[in-house]
Structure 1
């Protein structure tokens, strides 16, 4: 359900939750009863808890505050490749 904002000339701005397209251009103020006009406002589309927002936030933060890496450099050269099969015919296959 969308939230509509109304501005009362005697009071302040208040919000009303109504169905989509069911909000009239004028509404009675709940405090003083005067007619209040509906305001045009920006929709609240941001969802700050989503993974996409967290990714954007961490990317922006890493531009000025890079993470400190703890640990040594990787060893030079490649280690022994693991054996996936014991079939001797597989050992004759070309390696990438």
Structure 2
């Protein structure tokens, strides 16, 4: 379903999702309840692939809905970062 933008004179702009057959010319503002007229915006046209859209949408969604994890997955097991290369022994070590 497409998004339609509305502008309240007292509050901020807002968007609703509605079927094309039943788009109202004015929609009550979610903040104050006064009727807000529909605002005309440019259509969201793009030549990107659907996988690009999925990536963009998931990235935007993580700003307000971060993923919940059950355990830290980025940790390495103990000793996994130790190298046995003799050339690496000559590198300076942090104190």
TM-score under structure 2 length normalisation = 0.49
Structure with the greater alpha carbon radius of gyration: 1
Hey, which of these two has a bigger chunk of helix by percent?
2
TM-score under structure 1 length normalisation = 0.48
